[in-house]
Amino acid sequence: MLELTQDQAAALVAHAREAFPNECCGLLAGWQGRVKRIFRGTNVDRSPYTYLMDPKEQLAAFKDMEAAGLDLLAIYHSHTHTAAYPSKTDVAKAYYPDAIYVIISLMDQQPAIKGYRIMDGRIADEKVVVR
């Protein structure tokens, strides 16, 4: 399970809207499923269909997590016109089996935030709670 505050969920949706029409991306860090910090990333793909977080930003985020004693909990990105469900590309690029993959969908008027575990090409729902 992944736990976000209302403000954190709003920040993810805001990032998705700011990046539109392209996908946004970033990392969520914390402890025991509770998000303590959002690391917004730059999508160097600059694409509405794929994402790749700027490698320098990703390295800096991992260094900051280590220094603060935080764990990588999730990797997030947006879907601009499709549901909050992993695409074939998302599954193929799921390199962190211990992370939850969070997708923010802007397909409907009310954005959706969903989480998944992706391992060996298999997708499993992961509960995302907003408190």
What domains can you pick out in the chain, each with its CATH number?
2-130 (3.40.140.10)
pTM of the model: 0.96
The confidence score (pLDDT) of residue 72 equals 98
The confidence score (pLDDT) of residue 105 equals 98
The confidence score (pLDDT) of residue 65 equals 98
For residues 59, 125, 7 and 82, what is the CA-based torsion angle, rounded to 10 degrees?
90
Name the stretches of the chain with pLDDT < 50. Answer: none
Tokens of 48: 């509405």
The confidence score (pLDDT) of residue 12 equals 98
Strand pairing class (71-79; 25-31): antiparallel
Strands (E), 6-127: 25-31, 34-41, 71-79, 100-105, 112-119, 122-126
The confidence score (pLDDT) of residue 1 equals 95
